[in-house]
Structure 1
């Protein structure tokens, strides 16, 4: 079988794996969804970055982005360590483009944004 003949199978397999990964049992509650939709950082400068670069995906959970405040979704990422998370933001990962669309952000701003988004919503049960 040539590469040209195998390509459609590879594409289907990749899509199936992606859909399986996105269809976990960890769906956020309506309260967490509401929290994500309305939360912004308290510091105005950080809020401006969040609103222009992060909110579109992390407030809606698009592209498999963990919702802001959904601690259960963030925990496996946090377990990798902050340096790895910042590297993932800079390099891009999954549906997130390099630098998370914040080309002028520095590593400390990324750390602050990650901490904000990963902080569990008050309504989340533990």
Structure 2
């Protein structure tokens, strides 16, 4: 039996470890987005009536819940900019994200929930 060169083994291990730093694949994100709900019941109610239709199905340009890759450029703009986009409307999102009775703290909590995939560690 012939042994694999040490350099090949090192490259294989390095490749596997590099894959560990990547988030979930798109199919996993889509499945998560379809069923994800905030843990807080009041926030979950707001999410269900105002956010879920666009952020859970992938049928619009809205970033899916848990799709950190799609959310990253938005988060880089800063929370103040994101809150302004929510309140004023932005792209296909209507003003207030259809939640006319929501406050800035609730919007921020919803953005935090939607923009992160749960940590399984």
What's the TM-score once normalised by structure 2's chain length?
0.76
* Aligned residue among 97, 106, 110 for 1:109: 106
C-alpha distance in structure 2 between counterparts of 1:88 and 1:82, whole Å: 10
Select which of 23, 36, 43 maps to 2:33: 36
Whether the 8 Å CA contact 1:63–1:96 is kept in 2: the answer is: no
Query: C-alpha distance in 2, partners of 1:81/1:122?
Result: 22
User: Do 1:74 and 1:118's aligned partners in 2 also have CA atoms closer than 8 Å?
Assistant: yes
The question of 1:83 aligning with 2:84 is answered no
Distance 2:67 2:44 in 1: 18
Q: Computing the radius of gyration over CA atoms, which structure comes out larger, 1 or 2?
A: 2
* Structure 2 residue aligned with 1:62: 59
Deviation at 1:34, TM superposition (A): 0.4
Corresponding residue pairs, total? 96
**TM-score normalised by L of structure 1:** 0.73
1:95 pairs with 72, 92, 97, which one? Answer: 92
Alignment RMSD, CA only?
A: 1.3
Q: Which runs of 5+ in 2 are unaligned?
A: 1-24
Once residues 105 and 57 of structure 1 are traced to their aligned partners in structure 2, the CA distance between those partners, rounded to angstroms, is 17
Q: 2:106 aligned with 1:119, yes or no? A: no
1:45 aligns with 2:42: yes
For residues 91-124 of structure 1, give each alpha carbon's deviation from its aligned partner in whole angstroms, at most 9, with x where no partner exists. 001110000000000000000000000012458x
